[in-house]
Structure 1
Amino acid sequence: MTDARPLGADEAAFMAVVRSGDSARFALITERHRRELQVHCYRMLANYEDAQDLTQETFLRAWNKRESFKGHAALRTWLYRIATNACLDFLDKRNDRTPVPSGLADVGSEVLYLQPYPDRMLPEDPQESVVARETIELAFIVAVQHLPPRQRAVFILRDVLGWPASKAAEALELTVASVTSALQRARVTMREQLPDRRLDWRRPATHELSNDERGVVKLYIDAHERNDLDGLMSLLREDLRFVMLPEAGTSSVTAKDAVDGWVSGGLFQPGYDDWRCITTTFNRMPAAALYRRTPDDPQYRLFTIAVLHVVDGKIAELIGFDATDKPWLDLPPTL
Structure 2
Amino acid sequence: MRGIPPAGESDVSASAESSAEDLLGLARHGDGEAFRELVEPYRRELQVHCYRILGSVQDAEDLVQETLLAAWRGIGGFEERASVRTWLYRIATNRCLNALRAGSRRPQEQPAYRPEVVLPEPSRRRAEPIWLEPYPDLLLDEIVDHVPGPEARYEARESVSLAFLAALQQLPPRQRAVLVLRDVLGFRAVEVAAILETTENAVTSALKRARETLARELPGSDWKSAPLPDSPQERRVVDDFARAFQAGDVDAVVAMLTDDAWLSMPPLPLEYHGLEDVRNFLATTALRGGRRHVLIPTRANGQPAFGCYIQDPRTSIMRAHGVLVLTLSGARIAALTRFVDNSLLAAFGLPRSLRA
Q: TM-score range by the shorter chain?
A: 0.7 to 0.9
Match of 1:277 in 2: 295
What corresponds to 2:59 in structure 1?
50
Selected match of 2:27 from 10, 17, 20: 17
Match of 2:184 among 160, 168, 177: 160
| Structure 2: gaps of 5 or more residues | 1-17, 108-120
> Match of 2:133?
115
Matches within 5 A, 1:46-85: 46-85=55-94
* 1:329 match: 348
Moved more, 160-169 or 225-234: 225-234
Q: Which amino acid aligns with 1:261?
A: F
Q: What do the CA deviations read for 1:222-276 (whole angstroms, capped 9, x no partner)?
A: 012222222122112232211112334x311122222322332362526xx2322
**Paired amino acid for 2:266:** L
Residue from 314, 317, 322 that aligns with 1:304: 322
1: CA distance, partners of 2:51 / 2:327: 20
**2:292 aligned with 1:262:** no
Q: What SS class does the counterpart of residue 299 from structure 2 fall into?
A: strand
1:219 aligned partner, one-letter code: D
Q: Summarize deviations over 1:122-165 as a string: whole Å, max 9, x none.
A: 23443266971211101101111122211111111111111111
By how many angstroms is 1:209 displaced?
Answer: 4.5
Q: TM-score, structure 2 length as denominator?
A: 0.79
SS in structure 2 of the partner of residue 304 of structure 1: strand
Aligned-partner Cα distance in 2 for 1:210–1:125: 17
List aligned pairs for 1:1-335, cutoff 5 A: 9-19=19-29, 21-94=30-103, 111-122=129-140, 123-126=142-145, 127=147, 132-194=156-218, 196-197=220-221, 208-248=229-269, 250-265=270-285, 267-269=287-289, 273-326=291-344, 327-335=346-354
More helix by share: 2
TM-score by length of 1: 0.84
Deviation at 1:323, TM superposition (A): 4.8
Distance change >3 Å, CA 32–CA 133, structure 1 → 2: same
RMSD value, Cα: 2.9
> CA 1:266–1:333 in 2, change beyond 3 Å: closer, same or farther?
closer
Structure 1 unmatched ranges of 5 or more: 1-7, 201-205
On the 8 A contact 2:27/2:35 being kept in 1, the answer is: yes
Which amino acid in structure 1 is aligned with residue 135 of structure 2?
A: Y
The count of residues paired between Structure 1 and Structure 2 equals: 315
1:11–1:71 CA contact under 8 A, matched in 2 = no
Report if aligned partners of 1:278, 1:288 keep a CA contact under 8 Å in 2. Answer: yes
Displacement of 1:94: 1.3
Structure 1 pair 266–279 and aligned structure 2 pair: CA distance change class (3 A):
closer
* Range with greater deviation from structure 2 (116-125 or 191-200): 191-200
